[in-house]
Structure formats: structure tokens, C-alpha cells
Amino acid sequence: MHEKKAMAKRSVKAAVIGAGMSGLIAARELRREGHRVVVFEKGSEVGGTWVYDPRVESDPLGLDPGREVIHSSMYKSLRTNLPRPIMGFLDYPCDAKPGVWDDPRPFPGHEEVLRFLQGFAADSGVVELVRFGHEVVRVEQVAEGRNDEWVVEWRTRDGEASAEAFEAVVVCNGKYTEPRLAEFPGRSTWRGEQIHSHNYRIPEPYKDKIVVIIGNGPSGIDIAKDILHVAKEVHLASRETTKLEILEGLFQHSPIDHAKEDGKIVFQDGSSIYADAIIHCSGYKYHFPFLRMNGIVNVEDNCVAPLYQHVFPPALAPWLSFIAVPYRAIAFVLSELQSRWVAKILSGKILLPSEEEMTSSVHEYYHRIEAAGWPKRHTHRLQLEKFDYENWLAGELGLTPLEKWRQNMYFTSLSLPMTLGENWRDTWDAEKWMKGEAGGEEESDK
Ligand code: FAD
């Protein structure tokens, strides 16, 4: 039997940072467990990423640390890349609610997800726990050696600063706001316009232009197709060639080798073009500007370290936790399972291993991903584990593993943009597929 950390308290005063999808579900789970919860939200409404903001940042590459940060990376035309049945919570599915949220499409628009989250916040009562317009600017232990006492300092929009003590802090500030840029020689002197996808909203500015898109993840492919109808040419540069359908005006390349001041872009395969604009769809960095951790938790090469099961820094567990750090997952279900786990650990219903055991588990995990040849920046990518992580959390919570249809639907969705063509979201019959009347199951279950 392992020695487990004993819990001193059953009900704690907890601060949740962020009222996006993760903060909302975390607050609900914490409150269900009898904890006293305050949610700090710097914006003026719930929904986080799903609150479309037409504004863009003053520095479209996000390099200037003094810029006013716009939280959401939504673009106007965005529709979900996962179908509705896996866009809700386990006990609060994203089924259509006539007259409230009822986009009939299997991959709804971003407005629908926001309406769903607003509905969830209201129905669960969590909205009453949220202090809007409160930006957390500092989270720090009150005194060294007192892990269960934290000071949370915030600033309101009119510049008023204040602070309060909490026993637990749950970080839910989102991971898609701080741009990561593609690096290549000549980037800073290239004469064309460059933005990060975080600042992409509408296609019109690219009318008749030759545009290079870096990265073939969901945003890269979606944005390429979004601007294809107005741009002169779109060139997708990526490490792996995507099996994209042939579309007029869309060209695929290897990554950029270098860029010349005169507008020329040379790709690693030796081909080159003159372009007007580059859109970096190269991902994001974890960013916790409010954490004062004295080196106990760090972000190094996009790895939040050390985190036991991607959630708890062993030395500060369970008083500091992070929700939604992993990616390549069914985001809503992942945050829900993690939140339940954190809530039950804080209430003492589930016990954590000792600090030493958690630390060695973290190191074991690092060795495993290193042995698999993964770069450190992919530490929180769940692909290697498939659904092992979610099912491990479910097991901790006494739940059955995630239903097979959810897992199949997730993997199928990832391949749809490559297999179903430009209008893949409208070509796929999710309902038929769920009933097993359409092909693709074998393909998806990998
Ligand atoms: P967020 O939604 O980012 O919420 C974080 C919240 O914290 C925000 O409200 C923010 O204002 C607040 N905050 C941040 N810092 C502070 C602070 N210091 N003080 C107070 N408040 C703070 N997922 C899917 O399941 N399906 C999809 O189709 C899908 N498409 C996506 C498309 C794009 C372009 C992006 C960027 C993401 C997409 N996602 C999708 C993933 C999406 O991020 C998750 O679904 C989910 O919204 C993440 O919620 P979150 O609460 O973890 O973070």
C-alpha cells in the first residue's frame, strides 16, 4: 500500500481563475463537493475562447509584451471541428435546445457553443459565483511552507487592485492566447504583412493577395479554406504534407527555409514564391503571468513542469491545480473529468500519492515520452496515450471508461477535413454514423 497524503479539510475556499468552459465546469464540480468557490474572470461574460471579439491586437504577431491582450482567437466563420455530441459535458450534453441553442448543423458555429456555455452557467448556477471584470494579477503562497494558503490579487477594469486569501487555487486561464511563432531566417526583415492566427478574424484583408499559411493543424487548414475564395493564391507550409483535396489556388509546401527582404519566400524543398502575407498558424504557448512560484512550477519549452497527471505540482498538491493543460483530447470531457478529480481530492474523498511518489511518476512519464522520441514541447499532447488518460481519470472517479462512440467520433473527426473535402462539416452525417449506418468506424478506431 502506498502512503497517501492525508487531507486536513473537507470543504475549502477555492479560487478559480477564468470563466471559460474549464472554469465553469471546475466551479460546478467544486461546489458540488461542498467547497466555497469564487471565479475570477477578466472579461465581462462567460465562455472564454467562444466569446468572439472582432478586435485584433496592436501587434498582430503578439511579440510586444505591453500590448493589450485580446483573449479569444475565434475567427468570424469558425465552426467547431468536433461534432455536437462531443461538444458537451457528460451530464449536460450539447443537445439542441429549441429557441435557445439550435444550430441544426452537426458542427455548429462558434455562437452556438457560446450560447451552450451561457446556458450551462445559468442552469448550474455557476454564473452567480463569477466576479466579472476581475483580472488576476498575482497568485502566491502567503508564507513559505503553507501550501494551503494563497493570496489572489486582482485588478478591476477601473484599475482598482485588491487581494483575498484562499486555501486552493484552480487555474483555468486557457491555453490559446499567447502566440507561438514559426522561426526562420529573415522573418523579422521580410517586407510583407505577418500575423499569428490568434489575430485572424475575416478573409477580406487578403483579397487578391498571395498568402503563405504556416502550419496544417485545424486552424491552418480552416483559415486556408476561409481565405481561398478571396485570395489570389494560398500556400500551405508544413512539416507533414496534408492529404488535402485538390483546390484551385491552394498549394502545399515543405516548411519555410528562409525569407528575403524583397518578399521572396524559399521553402525547404527549394521551391520559392513572392508573397504578400504570412499567417502563422503555429500554435500557442502556456502562459501564467500571474503565478509567483519561486521556481516550483515553470513553463519550459512549452511544458508545464512538474505536473502530476498534468494537474498538480507535487510540492503544492492539492492546493494548486491546473485544468485543461493537455491537448489532443475531447476538451469538454477532459476538463470535466479533471475538475471532478480535483474537487474530490480537495474534499478528501480521493487521496493523492505522497509528494515523492507523484514526483517519481512525473519523471517516469518524462522518460517515457523521451524514449518515444517526442520533443519536450509535446509533453502535454495526449495522442500517445489515446484515451488512457481520460479513462485513468474516470477510474479514479469510479466511473466506467469513456464510451467507445465518443472515442471513435473524436478520431473520425480528426480525419474528416482530409477525407471529405472542402465542405466536410456538412457532408458528414453524424447521426447516421452514430447508428453504425455509415462507414469509417474501423478507420477511426486507431
Ligand atoms: P478559455 O476558453 O480560453 O477560457 C479561459 C478564461 O480565463 C477566459 O474567459 C479568460 O478571459 C480568463 N482569464 C485568463 N486570464 C485571466 C486572468 N488573469 N484573470 C481572470 N480571468 C482570466 N474545442 C472543442 O472542443 N471543439 C472545437 O471545435 C474547438 N475549436 C477551437 C477553435 C479555436 C480557434 C480555439 C482557439 C480553440 C478551440 N477549441 C475547441 C478548444 C477550446 O479552447 C476549448 O473548447 C475550451 O473553450 C477551452 O476552455 P478553457 O476554459 O480551458 O479556456
> Pocket of ligand 1, candidates 25, 173, 292: which has the most ligand atoms within 8 Å of its Cβ, to mutate?
173
The per-residue pLDDT for range 417-428, each reduced to its tens digit, is 666 666 778 877
Q: Is the ipTM of this complex over 0.90?
A: yes
Ligand 1 atom closest to the CA of 74, numbered from 1: 34
Q: What pLDDT score does 294 carry? A: 83
Phi, psi (rounded to 5 degrees) for 344: -75, -30
**Distance (Å) from CA 51 to ligand 1 centroid:** 9
Distance CA 227, CA 233 (A): 9
Query: 434 and 409 in contact (C-beta within 8 Å)?
Result: yes
- CA of 20 from ligand 1 middle (Å) equals 6
**Best residue for ligand 1 mutational test, from 22, 49, 73, 78 (most atoms within 8 Å of Cβ):** 49
Can you give the pLDDT of all 446 residues of the chain as single tens digits? Answer: 344 454 545 899 999 999 999 999 999 999 999 999 999 999 999 999 999 999 999 999 999 989 999 999 999 999 999 999 899 999 999 987 888 778 888 899 999 999 999 999 999 999 999 999 999 999 999 877 677 799 999 999 999 999 999 999 999 999 999 999 999 999 999 999 999 999 999 999 999 999 999 998 889 989 999 999 999 999 999 987 766 666 788 899 999 999 999 999 999 999 999 999 999 999 999 999 999 988 899 999 999 999 999 999 999 999 999 999 999 999 999 999 999 999 999 999 999 999 999 999 999 999 999 999 999 999 999 976 679 999 999 999 999 999 988 988 888 888 776 666 667 788 777 666 665 544 443 333 22
In angstroms, what is the span from residue 63 Cα to ligand 1's centroid?
20
Q: Whose CA is nearest to atom 15 of ligand 1?
A: 173
Identity (one letter) of the amino acid at 39? V
CB 17 within 8 A of CB 40: yes
Q: Residue 335 CA: which ligand 1 atom is closest?
A: 52
pLDDT at 105: 85
| Nearest-angstrom CA–CA distance, 113 and 131 | 22
Strand partners, 136: 154
CA distance 237 to 260: 16
Ligand 1 binding pocket, CB closer than 6 Å = 17-23, 40-43, 48-50, 71, 73-74, 78, 80-82, 87, 135-136, 172-174, 176, 219, 290, 324, 331-332
pLDDT value for 204 = 98
The position carrying cell 453504425 is: 436
Please report the pLDDT score of residue 48 as a whole number.
Answer: 98
Give residue 309's pLDDT: 98
Residue nearest to atom 42 of ligand 1 (CA): 49
| Integer CA distances (angstroms), 406 to 13, 145, 183, 327, 402, in order | 34, 43, 36, 16, 7
Cα 219 to averaged position of ligand 1 atoms, centre (Å): 15
Kindly give the distance from the C-alpha atom of residue 100 to the centroid of ligand 1, in angstroms, as a whole number.
Answer: 22
pLDDT for 101 equals 76
CA 83 vs CA 62, 226, 411, 429: distances in Å: 31, 19, 11, 10
Ligand 1 closest atom vs CA 219: 34
- For residue 376 the three cell numbers come to 519536450
| pLDDT, position 293 | 87
Distance, CA 235 to ligand 1 centroid (Å)? 28
b/e string for 252-289 if b means 16 or more Cβ within 10 A? bbeebbebeeeebbbbeeeebeebbbbbbbbbbbbebe
Task: Give the closest residue (by CA) to ligand 1 atom 18.
Answer: 136
Residue with the smallest CA separation from ligand 1 atom 46 is 21
Centre of ligand 1 from the C-alpha of residue 174, in Å:
5
Q: Which residue has the cell 481565405?
A: 227
The answer to whether residues 164 and 235 touch, using CB atoms and an 8 Å cutoff, is no
- 366 C-alpha to center of ligand 1: Å? 26
- Of ligand 1's listed atoms, the one at least distance from the Cα of 80 is 28
Q: What is the pLDDT of residue 442?
A: 35
How far away, in angstroms, is 197 Cα from ligand 1 center? Answer: 15
176 Cα: distance to centroid of ligand 1 (angstroms): 7
